[in-house]
Amino acid sequence: MSEQYIIPPTLDERMHLRKALKAFVQTQHLCPPVSLKQLEELADAFVSEHQADAFNAQLLTLNALRPWLMVEIHNQIWLPIVAGIPHERRLLMLPKCLSRHGECQAEYDEYGLLCHRCGRCHIPHLQDKVEQLGGLSIVAEGFTQVIELIENRVVDAVIGVSCLDSLEKAFPLLVRHAVPGLAIALNDSGCRNTHVDVDYVEEMLTLLSDEAAPALLDHEAIHEQVSRWFTRPELEQLMQPATDPTQKTCLDWMSGEGKRWRPFLLSAVWQALTGKTEMTTDVHRAAVAVECFHKASLIHDDVEDQDATRYGQPTINALYGDAFAINVGDALLGLGYRILAQSNNAELLRLIADAHVKLCRGQGEELMWNQSPINMDFVMNIFRYKTVPAFEVSLMLGLSCTGNFVHLRPMLKAYSDALGIAYQLKDDLEDFVQDNQLAHRPSAVLALQTEHPTWSQEEVKTELQRMTDLYHQQALDALNGMDELELKRLLYQVTEKILG
């Protein structure tokens, strides 16, 4: 056994703890996903609550047991969801080390082990069980390919067996990507002739609830729908055909390059909360409007920073001059407001207007930064006005389009605040690592160098990373009380894509 981790040594002890963990998790009323930090806190709370249990009193005093407890707590939290997913939508992932070293005659290809069904280990038995249930199984190492299978909607849940040493690397992937799944630790470490509680794995495989799990978001379908909204014909229906140079440039800019991240997030929030796949007219309008505001802000940024390229193409100011570029940006703002005004939801206009004003205040602070003392409070204030609203407005617009879920507003605001700051800190850190001293704008790097003039570059980088990790965790912590499974999964995945 690894010196780093402790696994309860007997089957009786493992099953006793699993039963106790199940009862413990049921008292916590948790909605998955939960962060690694929260799993650590839950494991510590369980130990504190059960140290009087004579059966495991000595075992629970060992901190090295915490990783195993975290994995089992994670399983208990996700178990009702996995049980509601049909067997044919699940994947069993087994490690190669379950085979008998020196006796196994199986070949390996890019997908893993090709079992000969010799019967010398438990692999064929478990694979046959999965096949009988209609599910899929692979024998391979690493969970990266599992993430791809989930994202490509090949399967909806994974049951993975691995040693704790491997889970230390793979488990965070499952948590951060909010993958519906169960992770079952091998009872020993090493890469040869390992063992697992086969009956327990079978129990997890055969679980099936009468209550179906909530439908999982199809991110690709949402992206495809959003992309269609920004084709030239679709845009002309909302923004009118081009009859003059300004309107033509607006349409070119809106139908051109871009990730459409804000329209996607708005649409995904709405779909996660309503469970509907057919987008409403208000969602469509709000998604196009929020991109109008985003594109306008980019045009104005290019003018203010005198940038000559964006998306690998000349900027509007580089092509036609600053005055025309400002006019196009202003036209896009007007178009955004006009599109929203066609909706029956007046709150959409208020949300966009508030975000617009905040962004301008933040941009103004940045443009006038050399007239104020540079410190971290000043820089963080710019982040809160300039970067945070870009995240917050998409979430709030999607929420408003549902006409419900008002109780989520404080959570989404706290999440947006932390995510926006973490995003900007990460951006500053990446620029700094690339030997850019960021001396020409009010960055977190410049603030730290001003406040700590004796710090080395390594100390500045270390502090930036610490701050980024802190706000990253605060973003996830803001979601702890959320009971809306698919929205919570979406935001975990968004956090991973932006900060991972």
Same domain, 135 and 17: yes
* CATH code of the domain containing 344: 1.10.600.10
**How many domains, the chain?**
2
CA distance 465 to 202: 42
Residues 181 and 243 in one domain: no
Token representation of residue 6: 């402790």
Mark whether 194 and 250 lie in a shared domain. no
- Is 5 inside any structural domain? no
Tell whether the torsion through CA atoms of 84, 85, 88 and 91 is positive or negative. negative
Which of these three, 171, 206, 241, is where a domain ends?
A: 206
From first CA to last CA, the distance across the chain in angstroms is 31
Same domain flag for 191 and 226: no
| 124 is a domain residue | yes
Instruction: For the full predicted model, state whether its pTM sits above 0.75.
Output: yes
451 shares its domain with 332: yes
Range of the domain at 332: 219-499
Give the per-residue pLDDT at 178.
Answer: 86
pLDDT attached to residue 116: 56
Quote the pLDDT of residue 440: 62
The verdict on residue 2 lying in a domain is: no
> Which one-letter amino acid corresponds to residue 357?
V
Last residue of a domain, one of 167, 183, 206: 206
Pair 98, 191 in one domain: yes
303 vs 430: CA distance, rounded Å: 24
Domain assignment present for residue 1? The answer is no
On whether both 55 and 164 belong to a single domain, the answer is yes
Cβ partners under 8 Å of residue 455, min gap 6: 448, 449, 463
Question: Does a structural domain hold residue 192?
Answer: yes
Predicted pLDDT at 3 = 46
Same domain, 294 and 316: yes
Q: Is residue 6 part of a domain?
A: no
**Domain contains 112:** yes
Q: Using alpha carbons, select from 28, 422, 479, 39 the residue that is nearest to residue 269.
A: 479
Residue 213 lies in a domain: no
- Both 184 and 265 in one domain: the answer is no
Where the chain has pLDDT below 70, the residues are: 1-4, 52, 54-59, 99-121, 141-144, 190-193, 434-440
Tell me, what's the pLDDT at 393?
94
Number of residues assigned to the chain = 500
